[in-house]
Amino acid sequence: MHICLISHEFPKPGVPHGGIGTFLKFYSQLLVSKGHRVSVIGVIATEKRSVQDVNGVHIIEAAFKPKKGLTWIIKARILNRELEQLHKKRPIDILEGQEMAFALVKKIPTIKHVVRLHGGHHFFAEGENRKVDTWKGFLEKRSFAKADAFIAVSDYVKSHTAKFLSYHNKPITTINYPIDFSQFYKADADKVKPNTLVFAGTVCEKKGIRQLMMALPLIAEKFPEISLDIYGRDWLFPNKSSYIEWLKKQFSSDELKRVRFHGAIAHKELPKAYEAAEICVFPSHMETQGLVAPEAMAMQKPVIFTTLGPGPETIEPGVTGWLCNPLDPKDIAAKVITALESRAQHQKIGQNARTFALNKFDAERIVEENLKFYSSLLG
């Protein structure tokens, strides 16, 4: 098969990226390892068009110059041109993109269009308690109408998206993200720094970092040496001001002494950060699935995840980790205290977590599930 992925955020060396970029890079290489041709097309605000092959993945980055009010149209024209040229050269079997990917794509009848539900505009608008943007909402509905099938990365994102958008009685399945277990190895317990919490992810409100920092003084009442290491890129407000700088102003200098901001680090460096943690804490307000919790679980780390969204699909409380109410600093503190008071159980809980992660996010099985689903669409 020739599988083409639409992505404007395929990871580049030295450039910070999120979980979707991490998935695309690993997943595309898995497909190549199975003998399939994989192309990635993105339209990037840059000066020059770029074409390269990275580990067998054919990456096309088309250039465009943003123009206020016309960016969507310009990018759509360029994307359609690239797709038509690529399809003529090497016919595409499967075209895959995120929720909004096909809104302005001219559908080629011989290609099966698959939306992978990473969490779209409707999904996060509800989760973040904000209004649906009329234009983006229209584009998402239009994209869903054009899709031939859907893949959800968790049962939660599948059922929750269905509250707002129709799947039009088209094929849909849940297939989790694959995890590279060669990178997220069994951690060395001797490298743990006692009373150290680690958070990883974009530093923004929806990841629950503010509530986690609010929980620290409460935790310190029982564990005075508690500290928090934060790894992740800064989020910017619409006026381009820094969320991290705003966040720091919400806390006293004494409270900030417990917190260390490390900024964005390469994905391959994350295991070292997790390895040093006594507890990994990810109190996200909303996720489709998220990679950070299962990656830390794969390293046999004690993990606290969110009760919201896919949290209950990922962790069985007291068995493979703990779940907290991410909106309540008191509950976050209570769960951290419970975890720290359960040090005698960390090894067992970590072993359970690793076993669970190895089974649920097994790359070999997951890539085969994707290929089987693609094949069923092609008949």
Q: What is the pLDDT of residues 76-89, one digit of tens each?
A: 999 999 999 999 99
Q: Does 16 have pLDDT greater than 70?
A: no
Per-residue confidence (pLDDT) for residue 15, from 0 to 100: 62
Structure tokens at 64: 């465009």
**Fold (topology level) of 189-360:** Rossmann fold (3.40.50)
Q: Strand order in 94-97's β-sheet?
A: 50-54, 57-63, 37-44, 2-6, 94-97, 112-117, 149-152, 172-174
- The two tokens of residue 97 are 């993109």
- Whether 17 shows a pLDDT value over 70: the answer reads no
- Residue the block writes with tokens 């509800």: 126
- The predicted pLDDT at position 13 comes to 64
What residues pair up with 322 in beta bridges, in sequence order? 304
Work out the average pLDDT over 123-129. 80
**What is the pLDDT, as a whole number, of residue 14?**
62
CATH architecture of 2-178+362-378: 3-Layer(aba) Sandwich (3.40)
Task: Please determine, for residue 18, whether its predicted confidence score (pLDDT) is greater than 80.
Answer: no
- Mean predicted confidence (pLDDT) in 172-194: 95
Q: What is the pLDDT of residue 175?
A: 97
The pair of three-digit structure tokens given for residue 328, joined into one six-digit string = 């309540």
Q: Which of the four pLDDT bands, split at 50, 70 and 90, describes residue 379?
A: confident
| Closest among 141, 160, 54 to 100, alpha carbons compared | 141
Beta bridge partners of 375: none
Residue 304 pLDDT greater than 90, yes or no: yes
* CA distance linking residue 154 with residue 197, whole number of Å: 27
pLDDT beyond 80 at 343? yes
Give 19 or 360, the one with higher predicted confidence: 360
pLDDT of residue 130: 82
Residue 300: pLDDT band with limits 50, 70, 90: very high
Radius of gyration of the chain (CA): 21
Query: What's the DSSP call for residue 182?
Result: T
Domain boundaries, the chain: 2-178+362-378, 189-360
Residue where the block lists tokens 């009373």:
195
Is residue 260 within 8 A of residue 284, CB to CB? The reply is no
CB 307, CB 208: distance < 8 Å: no
- The amino acid that residue 302 corresponds to is P
Structure confidence at residue 10 (pLDDT): 84
Question: What pLDDT sits at residue 127?
Answer: 72
User: Across all residues in the chain, what is the average pLDDT?
Assistant: 94
Q: Is pLDDT larger for residue 342 or for residue 267?
A: 342
Output the DSSP codes for 327-344. Answer: T-HHHHHHHHHHHHHTGG
Using CB atoms within 10 A of its CB, is residue 5 exposed (0-12), middle (13-18) or buried (19+)?
buried
| pLDDT attached to residue 45 | 87
Q: Residue 209: name the closest of 219, 217, 198, 220 by CA.
A: 198
**Is residue 93's pLDDT more than 90?**
yes
- In the chain, the percentage of residues whose pLDDT exceeds 70 is 99
CATH topology match: 2-178+362-378 vs 189-360: yes
CB 147 within 8 A of CB 113: yes
Place of tokens 């890079």: 25
pLDDT of residue 276: 97
Question: For 345-351, what is the mean pLDDT?
Answer: 97
Q: Which residues contact 34 (CB under 8 A, 6 or more apart)?
A: 367, 371
Count helices and strands (H / E) in the chain.
14, 14
* CA neighbor of 277 nearest in space, from 314, 311, 304, 302: 302
Per the structure block, which two tokens stand in for 300? Answer: 């046999």
pLDDT digits (tens, 9 = 90+) for 145-162: 999 999 999 999 999 999
pLDDT tens digits, 218-261: 999 999 999 999 999 999 999 999 999 999 999 999 999 999 99
